[in-house]
Structures are given as structure tokens and as C-alpha cells.
């Protein structure tokens, strides 16, 4: 559906026709002439009023036609115009006319959210809401680099006025936008900021995501028929589909794809490889593969064909029971399910005796497919009803009696990740009493989205909510199973007893309200089970085995009848699993025997850290002990504790104590390691006490609390220099067409902390003229001040141009996640005629320090300086440049005009004493005030400075600060080349943990980040 904006314009602005004098010569009746006279008089009065009334300054959007025409021409020359917000305006139009709940659209909040989203990808933008005395948003201040402007939002009351105001704001943004920023990305972010205020499922799909979504729902794509993954920076085939071009070409699992067309796959991302391998059916793609025992890669030319995505997997179980796992709902899922049922029947020699339909971890898909699959098992009645805004649009989907399996015993497996279309099927089956629902409560997504294509992108917009039969909504509620299954884990590394918590749709901040009828079901049976696999049926977990046994022993077409007949089996399963749990916990020293707990349990608990200092370091182990004393007169049975905290590190730990005799104390201990990347912070936590499988904590028992102060590890910072070794070419240290070169990268840790495990990588940024043959190097740690080398190998095509040398170097501590990324600047010459000649000479440098370069070109990195009047030896030359040995297998270059010849009698060292320079260094951030990690204040001030030892050419450095996802501060250097930026930022703190991230940016692509976590007291950990 698309809006016909052209048609609407015609309706709103009808054409007025003015007649010429000759056309009025014919005499008209008096009455008609009087009417014309009054019309003329009214027209004259209207013109007079227009001339006399003062309407105030007109908006700058009402430019005269010539000015607008020139703007169109200018935009056409420069490409896409951010100032017009054409995509955003179309999305706003769809929201105005089709969104499920217009009352959720708050125009001013949408403007704030739109700019918040853009801030995340545009470092130089920062926005701050302006509020009036009542606390309402009345304006917004925009800082774009060095330019600042305020915009009045007082008259923004609806989506129409919001749209125009955003156009005005983004015209200001576009005027101050750096040329390297893609305006498409900025507008995508702006739209998604608006949509974020509506609900969690409305969003703009960028072209790549839209293509993937279409492929996922269509069920087919043009490709080779392989599943690929990445391993050590290489593209590896994980599996080959039967009957596909890949199988016919002889591709095998574990083959490595080293080249696609002319491009190396080294460090190519998975999405990049997939986009290059896929294409229109019938078109060829050339790949090179390496296999064990291959001497060199094998070249294969494979013609793509249509590959069907498999959404249904099936297996015939014992006793003729069929099992089908539906991964998602795509265009061919209902047909695949029918075929699976027929196939299992043929294999069984007769129709299957029942079906286990597994919808666990199925996120949904096409609504039409959910209806079709439900219809397979229903002979009549409502399947689902979609309801638009204010019940204005209501559509019912009714089951058909044709071609149904209405008498087939059916069990549907679900869990908390079964969502949307999965819930439509489960809800229809449950509410029609057609089959048993077994597992956990489902996700609770009861909304319908449609796709509006806009150019290459698409708007996914929530236009309706759906109701299961009986007009029952599951939005934020989910489908409750007839039989709840609760998995438990008992192992040396820890004990985890299944606890029902807040999850699914309801955990999202902006989830849709549920105004429809909600019927809260209770599971008839709850079965706890040990979450492991039977040795003889490793591919069948407990839920599948239980479902199969229920169909075999109690299979019926009606859910209530099957549930009634299955009661003995369920009671047996509960006893078996409970005994297994008791035995497993007994081996861990926990008595989990059941008994009668007193109406009011008298328990006293304490939580202790096994450390005298209560200061813990990242990378070390935490050992927490919960001691619970029973002060009552009767034993307490199946006592357990569950930790709660705002930190994921401390939340969700199970303290299993079991039976506590009257007058006795039991202690449970949990141990876990603090990740080495964990930043310094102070974290409160508490432990709630429960009895058995209860979801409500024990009434009247106080939860013990503790606060942990964790010290973070000092962080590394990185610097590097790079040198071209083209000894197989002309040897001048400069890249030339047709050469095979080695890039030698010297990496130094200039930070205060150790780097533990380094991955250095080189990535091609899109040129086929550069082929990476070796693009990764692992380094075992780097202490502060330590230097190590990495080497990468390249093949340079003959057709290369200087603009093709687009390579990105990165080095990352894979433990601490400290990272440097930088686009390389490499020396290049289109001519390779200059040859390196071995020739030893002796020299004296000039009276000032002499720069030594990585190659025989002034564009090379400077690797160091020679002091004035240095005696040195060179071992060869290339043109007017001389090569200087400076370390083992490491050389530098110095221009001839900086050298003076020496006589042979003087003693000259074999290697120059060079003050080596690691030229490209990450920025640094230092605080001038003491960093705190906990406070009761609603705000604090962070002050310090960022230093920039190295800057991209003619770049202005900047610094910006985020709290979570919200940008709070931005400052840029006063001019290009500034080496330091001081900052003093007032940070508003929300209750609980606040992650403050400070970024220092040296130009466009060299960044350093420092994190501070501050806990503001006033809130308790989540219960």
C-alpha cells in the first residue's frame, strides 16, 4: 500500500480557471450577472485583506520557484539531499494513516528521539531538550561541530508539524556535515529514532536488511547452496545442501573459500562473503577453495541457481509418531509441513499416529503461513483476528474443513522464544482444544507489522494487534502451556533451578499496551526436569521424549481428553525427574527431600564475601556465601536463594540450601570469575529467598545485601608504524603495480595496562587491485612499553591506482576488547623503473636532526630521527634515497640531500643509532578530578583533557561523552592540528548504574575510548 500524494494534492487544491474578456461579451440574465458581481466584490475584499494583514515572517521553506529550482539542480549535482528528508517524510505519512495506536505518537518526543539516534553515528552532533517552567519540552538546542542553533518546538503538536520542523533541523545539520558522512545512514537513523518511540517492532529496514528479510520470508534465493562461517579470519564451508550447484561442483564441508572473483576473502565479514556469493539464478561466480592436502587453491566456476531455504525439519520417531521442527514461517512453510507429514507416513508404512510440532525458538514470520498451518489441524472456527486502530479495521481468518488433520493427536512444543506467528498457531490450537501446548510461556508478541517499500529500503510498521480465538490478546502476556516444563542444571560449575522471570515482550520499554480481553491461564501440570540428554537418544531432549510418550500412551484429538489420559504418565515423569534431581543435589551435598513447611517460616540470612578487603579485581574469582539460619521449631524444606542486581555479573546466581533443620544453619556458596574486561565499579546486590519452585519470595524474610567494589584493570593503548618490504619487486620500500609486498607493522603498547592476547588484522576496503594473501597475526600479550612486530602479505595488481590502496589495519586485545582501527596511508608510485642497488657508503648527517622514512618516498611513515652530525653506513640506494640498516631485518630510508660523504678512514657503526618513532598513536584521556564509582547525587562533573600525539592530516580532533546511548557532551579542537582538548562536563545520573563513555578522536578514524561506571544510589536492585 502506498499513499497517492499526487492525488491528494489535486483534491486539496482545485484548479481555478480565469476567462478572457471576449468570453464575457455575451449578455447573461440579471440574476447571473448579480452573482458574478458579488463574486467579484468578495474577491476584491479578500485581496485587500491579504494586503493589509500581517502574517509574520514566512517559513524559509516557502522559497520562490527560481530559488527552489536552483536548489533542486544543486542537489542533483551533489547526489542525495539530507535537508529534504524525503524518506523520513514518506515514513511519517505512513505512520499518520496506518499506525495501530495514533495516541502513542508524541511529536516532540519523536524529535528528541530522532536526534538521539543520529547522535550515535554522527560524533559532531549533540542535541539537548529545552524545557519550560512546567517541565514540558519547549525547544531543542543543536550543536553541530562548532555551529549551534536553537529550534522552537512550542507549536509542534502533531506529526505534520513535526515533519516540517525536522526538515528545518536537518537542513542546519546538512550545512555543517563532513563530506565523508553518508546522508542515507543519517536519515535511516533519524527515522528509526522516531519509530523507537512507538513500539519495539516498528523500524526502517536499510536496503541490506530488507534484502535479507525478503529472502528469509520468500524461502528461496539465488546462490550456491552452502552454509558458511568464519574461522581465524577465513570463510569456511560448514555444510553443503543436497542437489545444489555447490554439491555438483564438488564442494565439501571444511573447504576454505580463499577468493571470490578477484577479491581475497581474508578478514572478509560473513555478510560481505554472503553478498558476493549470492546473485541472480543463472549467473556465474568464480571462487578459489583450499582443502586439506591441496598444494594451492583450486579455481571453480559455479553457476548460481534458486536455493530453497529449509524452514521445516522432520523425523519419524518410534511407534509411528512424527516430529517436525518449524524454524520460522516463510512462504513455503505450510507446503513443507504437509510434505513432511506425508513423507513420514510413507516411511512408517501407514499414516503417522501423532505429531510433535516443535515451535521452540521460532521467532515468527508470515501471518498467512501461521493461518495456513493452524488450518491444517482445525476444521472450523476462528484462527486469528487482526484489529487495527480503535477496532476500526477488523479481519477474521476462519479455518476451512478441507484437507485437515483434524483427528491427528497433536502436541505443540513452545518456549519463551516462540513469538508472533508461533503464538498464533499455539493460541489457535489451545483455544480450540485441538492439541496440548507443552513447554514454557511464550514471548507475548501480539502485534502485526506490514512492509512498505520505499526505494531500496522498507518501513516495517505495526498496523494491528491480533487476537486468538475468543478475542483473547496475548500482547505482553504470551501463551500459557497446558504442561509447563522447567529445566534445571546441576553441575560442578553451578546449580541452576528454573525460575519464571520477567521476559519476552513485556521487558521492552515501549511495548504496546494491551487493552483487549486477556484471559490468564494457569498450567495444569508443572514438570521440573534435569537439563541433560539421554546417552541413547542424544538428538531427542526431554520435552520431545515426553511429548512422544504422551502421544503413544494417551494420544487423543482433543487436548482435555489427552491431558486427562496422560495424568498417570505425567505423575510418573514428575517422580522420575524429582528423584533424579534429589540424587544429583545429594551428590553436591544438598538435601532436597520434600516436606511440609510451616505457614510462617522463621529464617535469618546473611551474605558474605570471602575476602578481608572487600575489594576485588577484574580477572579474579568471586566467592559469595549465603548463610541461612532456621529459628523456627520445624524444619524448612527446599530453601533456595536467587541473587538480584543491576549488574548481569551478579544477578541470577542460585544458592541451593535444601532442608534446614530447626535451630540449624546451612550455607551455600557460589563462585564465578570477574571478566578481565570488567570496568571498575561499585555494585550492590541482594539475595531473595524462596521455597521449592515458588515464584514469590518468602514473606517476612529480609533479603541480605552487600555492595562489591571491583577494581578494573589498567587499559592498554596502542601505537604502530608500518613499512613496505618489496624485496621481490624493485626494493624501494614503495608500493608499485605488479609487486608482491610484505607489510611490516611494529606495534607498541603505550598504555598503563597489559594487553593479554592481541589480534592484528588487515582488511581490504573494497578494491580488487589489492589481494591479501596473509591478513592476520596473533601476538601473545604486550606489556606496557613493549613492542612486537606483525607481518602481512599482499599481491598488487598491475591495474592498481593510488586510490585503490584502501586498507584498514586493526589491533585488538581480544580479552580486554581494547582496540585500535585505522585506515592505512601507504606510499605508492605508478612506476617501478627505479631499482634498488646494493652499494655501501658512509655518511655524516646535517647539523639538524634528520628524518628516517619507512620507504624511499616522502609520503612514507617516519620511523625515527638521527641526531645532528651522526656517522652512519648505508647499504644501497634507490634513486636519490639511501637505505639505512637500523635493526635486525629492519631498514630506513634517508634522502641524499640530508647526507654528506665521509672518507673511508673513519670508523662508522654497522647500524645507525636511531631515535625510533612509533608515529601513529592513539589519543589519551586523563581525568583531573578523582574518579568516583558511587554517589547519591543526581549529577557530577567530569573534568580532564584529551591529548593527541598523532593527527590525520589537516584534521581537527574532537572529544565526546555518552551516558549509555545518550550523548551529553561534545568539544572540538579550536583549529586543525590542536594537540589537546580540555573538558569539563556536567553528567546527569539516573538511579542505578551509569556507564559513562568518553571518546577522543584524532581525525576521522583513529579513536580511543575510556569507560567509567558510576552507581547512583536511591534505587534498589531489581526484585
Mean pLDDT for the chain overall: 85
pLDDT exceeds 60 at position 863 = yes
Better pLDDT: 788 or 885: 788
First-to-last C-alpha distance (Å) of the chain: 45
Average pLDDT (781-809) is 90
- Percentage of the chain lying above the pLDDT 70 cut: 87
Per-residue pLDDT, 346: 96
The yes-or-no answer to whether 220-308 and 718-834 have a common fold is: no
Q: What is the DSSP string of 754-815?
A: -B-SEEEEEEE-S-TTEEEEE-EEEE--B-TT-EEEEEEEEEE-TT--GGG--EEEEEEETT
Q: Which CATH class is domain 220-308?
A: mainly beta
Q: What is the pLDDT of residues 778-787, one digit of tens each?
A: 999 999 999 9
Give the least confident one: 148-152, 604-608, 900-904, 960-964.
Answer: 900-904
Per-residue pLDDT, 657: 95
Q: What is the pLDDT of residues 345-371, one digit of tens each?
A: 999 999 999 999 999 999 998 999 999
Architecture per CATH, domain 836-921, reads as: Roll (2.30)
CA distance linking residue 370 with residue 329, whole number of Å? 7
State how beta strands 483-491 and 958-963 pair: unpaired
Q: What is the pLDDT of residues 914-958, one digit of tens each?
A: 777 888 999 999 999 887 889 999 999 999 999 999 887 778 899
Q: Which CATH superfamily is domain 718-834 in?
A: Immunoglobulins (2.60.40.10)
- Percentage of the chain lying above the pLDDT 90 cut: 54
pLDDT exceeds 70 at position 70 = no
Question: Of 182, 202, 204, nearest to 191 (Cα)?
Answer: 204
Q: What is the pLDDT of residues 330-350, one digit of tens each?
A: 988 999 999 999 999 999 999
Helix/strand/coil (H/E/C) assignment for every residue in 131-144: ECCCCCEEEEEEEE
Q: What is the DSSP string of 892-933?
A: EEEEGGGEEE--TTS---SS---EE---EE--EEEESSPP-S
Domain segments of the chain as ranges: 5-52, 65-198, 220-308, 312-553, 603-711, 718-834, 836-921, 923-1016
Per-residue pLDDT, 73: 33
Average pLDDT (622-647) is 94
Per-residue pLDDT, 930: 83
Give the model's confidence band at 502: pLDDT under 50 very low, under 70 low, under 90 confident, else very high: low
pLDDT exceeds 70 at position 704 = yes
Task: Let me know if 909 is exposed, middle or buried by CB neighbors in 10 A (0-12, 13-18, 19+).
Answer: exposed
CATH code: domain 312-553 is: 3.90.226.10
pLDDT exceeds 60 at position 32 = no
Per-residue pLDDT, 747: 95
What are the cell numbers at 385? 483476528
State how beta strands 615-617 and 705-711 pair: parallel
Per-residue pLDDT, 511: 61
Architecture per CATH, domain 923-1016, reads as: Sandwich (2.60)
CA distance linking residue 944 with residue 167, whole number of Å? 37
The residue assigned the cell 516430529 is 323
pLDDT exceeds 70 at position 504 = no
Order of strands across the sheet that contains 807-813? 776-779, 758-764, 807-813, 818-823
CA distance linking residue 356 with residue 547, whole number of Å? 7
* 223-232, 318-327, 970-979: range with highest mean pLDDT: 318-327
Q: What are residue 203's DSSP bridge partners?
A: 460
The per-residue b/e assignment along 817-827, b for 16 or more CB within 10 angstroms, e otherwise, is: ebbbbbbbebb
CATH code: domain 603-711 is: 2.60.40.10
Give the model's confidence band at 268: pLDDT under 50 very low, under 70 low, under 90 confident, else very high: confident
pLDDT exceeds 90 at position 452 = yes
Give the least confident one: 513-522, 552-561, 855-864.
Answer: 513-522
The pTM of this model reads 0.81
Amino acid at each position: 500500500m502506498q499513499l497517492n500524494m499526487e492525488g491528494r494534492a489535486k483534491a486539496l487544491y482545485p484548479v481555478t480557471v480565469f476567462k478572457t474578456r471576449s468570453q464575457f461579451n455575451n449578455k447573461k440574465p440579471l440574476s447571473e450577472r448579480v452573482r458574478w458581481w458579488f463574486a467579484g466584490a468578495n474577491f476584491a475584499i479578500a485581496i485587500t485583506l491579504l494586503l493589509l494583514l500581517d502574517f509574520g515572517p514566512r517559513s524559509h521553506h516557502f522559497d520562490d520557484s527560481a530559488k527552489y529550482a536552483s536548489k533542486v539542480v544543486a542537489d542533483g549535482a551533489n547526489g542525495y539531499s539530507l535537508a529534504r528528508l524525503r524518506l523520513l517524510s514518506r515514513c511519517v505519512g505512513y505512520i499518520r494513516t496506518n499506525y495501530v495506536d495514533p495516541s502513542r505518537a508524541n511529536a516532540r518526543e519523536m524529535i528528541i528521539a530522532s536526534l538521539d539516534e543520529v547522535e550515535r553515528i554522527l560524533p559532531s552532533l549533540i542535541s539537548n531538550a529545552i524545557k519550560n517552567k512546567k517541565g514540558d519540552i519547549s525547544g531543542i538546542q543543536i550543536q553541530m561541530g562548532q555551529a549551534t542553533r536553537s529550534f522552537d518546538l512550542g507549536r509542534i503538536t502533531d506529526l505534520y508539524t513535526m515533519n516540517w520542523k525536522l526538515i528545518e533541523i536537518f537542513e542546519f545539520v546538512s550545512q555543517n556535515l563532513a563530506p565523508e558522512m553518508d546522508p542515507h545512514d543519517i536519515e535511516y537513523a533519524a527515522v528509526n529514532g522516531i519509530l523507537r518511540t512507538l513500539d519495539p517492532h516498528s523500524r526502517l529496514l536499510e536496503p541490506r536488511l530488507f534484502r535479507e528479510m525478503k529472502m528469509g520470508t520468500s524461502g528461496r534465493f539465488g546462490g550456491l547452496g552452502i552454509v558458511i562461517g568464519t574461522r581465524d579470519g577465513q570463510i569456511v564451508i560448514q555444510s553443503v545442501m543436497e542437489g545444489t550447484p555447490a554439491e555438483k561442483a564438488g564442494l565439501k564441508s571444511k573447504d576454505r573459500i580463499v577468493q571470490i572473483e578477484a577479491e581475497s576473502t581474508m578478514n572478509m565479514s560473513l555478510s560481505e562473503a554472503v553478498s558476493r556469493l549470492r546473485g541472480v539464478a543463472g549467473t556465474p561466480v568464480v571462487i578459489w577453495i583450499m582443502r586439506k592436502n591441496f598444494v594451492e587453491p583450486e579455481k571453480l566456476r559455479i553457476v548460481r541457481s534458486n536455493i530453497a531455504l529449509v524452514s521445516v525439519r522432520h523425523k519419524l520417531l518410534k511407534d509411528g509418531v512424527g516430529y517436525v521442527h518449524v524454524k520460522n514461517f516463510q512462504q513455503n512453510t505450510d507446503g513443507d509441513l504437509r510434505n513432511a507429514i506425508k513423507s513420514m507416513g510413507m516411511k512408517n508404512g501407514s499414516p503417522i499416529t501423532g505429531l510433535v510440532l516443535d515451535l521452540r525458538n521460532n521467532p515468527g514470520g508470515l501471518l498467512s503461513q501461521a493461518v495456513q498451518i493452524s488450518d491444517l489441524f482445525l476444521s472450523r472456527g476462528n484462527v486469528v483476528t487482526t484489529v487495527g486502530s480503535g477496532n476500526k479495521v477488523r479481519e477474521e481468518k476462519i479455518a476451512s474443513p478441507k484437507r485437515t488433520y483434524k483427528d491427528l493427536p497433536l502436541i505443540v512444543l513452545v518456549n519463551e522464544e516462540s513469538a508472533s506467528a508461533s503464538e498464533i498457531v499455539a493460541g489457535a490450537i489451545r483455544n480450540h482444544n485441538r492439541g496440548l501446548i507443552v513447554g514454557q510461556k511464550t514471548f507475548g508478541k501480539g502485534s502485526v507489522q506490514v512492509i512498505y517499500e520505499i526505494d531500496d529500503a522498507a518501513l516495517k510498521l505495526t498496523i494491528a494487534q491480533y487476537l486468538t480465538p475468543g478475542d483473547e490478546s496475548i500482547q505482553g502476556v504470551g501463551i500459557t502451556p497446558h504442561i509447563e516444563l522447567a529445566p534445571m542444571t546441576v553441575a560442578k560449575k553451578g546449580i541452576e533451578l528454573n525460575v519464571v522471570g520477567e521476559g519476552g515482550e513485556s521487558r521492552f520499554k515501549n511495548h504496546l499496551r494491551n487493552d483487549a480481553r486477556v484471559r490468564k491461564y494457569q498450567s495444569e501440570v508443572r514438570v521440573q526436569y534435569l537439563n541433560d540428554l539421554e546417552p541413547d537418544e542424544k538428538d531427542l531432549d526431554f520435552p520431545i521424549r515426553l511429548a512422544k510418550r504422551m502421544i503413544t500412551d494417551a494420544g487423543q484429538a482433543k487436548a482435555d481428553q489427552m491431558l486427562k489420559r496422560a495424568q498417570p504418565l505425567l505423575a510418573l515423569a514428575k517422580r522420575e525427574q524429582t528423584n533424579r534431581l534429589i540424587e544429583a543435589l545429594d551428590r553436591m551435598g544438598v538435601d532436597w527431600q520434600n516436606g511440609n513447611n510451616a505457614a510462617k517460616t522463621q529464617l535469618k540470612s546473611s551474605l558474605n564475601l570471602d575476602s578481608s578487603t572487600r575489594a576485588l579485581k577484574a580477572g579474579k574469582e568471586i566467592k559469595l556465601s549465603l548463610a541461612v539460619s532456621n529459628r523456627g521449631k520445624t524444619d524448612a524444606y527446599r530453601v533456595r536463594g536467587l541473587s538480584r542486581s543491576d549488574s548481569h555479573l551478579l544477578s541470577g546466581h542460585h544458592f541451593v540450601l535444601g532442608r534446614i533443620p530447626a535451630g540449624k544453619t546451612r550455607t551455600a556458596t557460589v563462585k564465578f570469575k570477574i571478566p578481565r574486561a570488567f570496568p571498575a565499579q561499585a555494585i550492590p546486590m541482594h539475595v531473595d529467598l524462596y521455597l521449592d519452585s515458588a515464584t514469590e519470595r518468602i514473606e517476612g524474610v529480609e533479603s541480605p545485601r552487600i555492595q562489591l567494589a571491583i577494581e578494573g584493570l589498567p587499559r592498554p593503548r596502542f601505537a604502530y608504524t608500518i613499512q613496505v618490504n618489496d624485496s621481490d619487486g624493485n626494493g624501494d620500500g614503495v608500493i608499485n603495480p605488479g609487486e608482491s609486498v610484505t607489510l611490516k607493522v611494529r606495534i607498541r603498547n603505550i598504555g598503563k595496562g597489559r594487553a593479554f592476547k592481541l589480534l592484528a588484522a588487515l582488511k581490504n576496503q573494497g578494491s580488487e587491485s589489492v589481494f591479501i594473501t596473509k591478513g592476520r597475526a596473533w601476538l601473545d600479550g604486550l606489556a606496557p612499553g613493549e613492542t612486537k612486530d606483525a607481518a602481512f602479505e599482499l599481491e598488487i595488481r598491475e591495474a592498481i591506482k593510488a586510490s585503490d590502496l584502501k586498507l584498514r589495519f586493526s589491533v585488538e586485545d581480544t580479552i580486554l576488547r581494547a582496540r585500535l582501527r585505522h585506515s592505512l596511508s601507504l606510499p605508492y608510485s605508478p612506476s617501478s623503473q627505479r631499482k634498488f642497488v646494493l652499494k655501501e657508503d658512509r655518511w655524516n648527517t646535517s647539523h639538524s636532526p634528520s628524518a628516517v622514512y619507512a620507504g624511499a618516498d616522502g609520503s612514507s611513515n617516519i620511523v625515527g630521527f638521527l641526531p645532528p652530525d651522526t656517522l652512519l653506513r648505508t647499504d644501497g640506494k634507490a634513486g636519490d634515497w639511501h637505505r639505512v640498516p637500523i635493526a635486525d631485518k629492519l631498514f630506513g630510508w634517508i634522502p641524499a640531500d640530508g647526507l654528506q660523504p665521509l672518507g673511508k678512514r673513519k670508523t662508522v657503526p654497522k647500524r645507525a643509532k636511531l631515535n625510533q618513532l612509533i608515529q601513529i598513536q592513539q589519543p589519551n584521556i586523563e581525568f583531573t578530578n578523582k574518579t568516583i564509582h558511587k554517589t547519591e547525587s543526581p549529577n557530577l562533573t567530569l573534568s580532564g583533557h584529551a591529548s593527541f600525539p598523532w593527527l590525520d592530516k589537516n584534521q581537527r580532533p574532537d572529544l565526546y561523552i555518552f551516558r549509555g546511548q545518550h550523548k551529553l557532551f561534545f568539544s572540538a579542537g579550536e583549529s586543525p592540528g590542536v594537540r589537546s582538548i580540555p573538558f569539563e562536563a556536567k553528567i546527569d545520573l539516573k538511579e542505578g548504574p551509569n556507564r559513562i563513555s568518553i571518546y577522543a578522536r584524532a581525525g576521522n578514524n583513529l579513536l580511543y575510548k575510556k569507560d567509567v561506571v558510576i552507581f547512583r544510589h536511591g534505587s534498589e536492585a531489581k526484585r
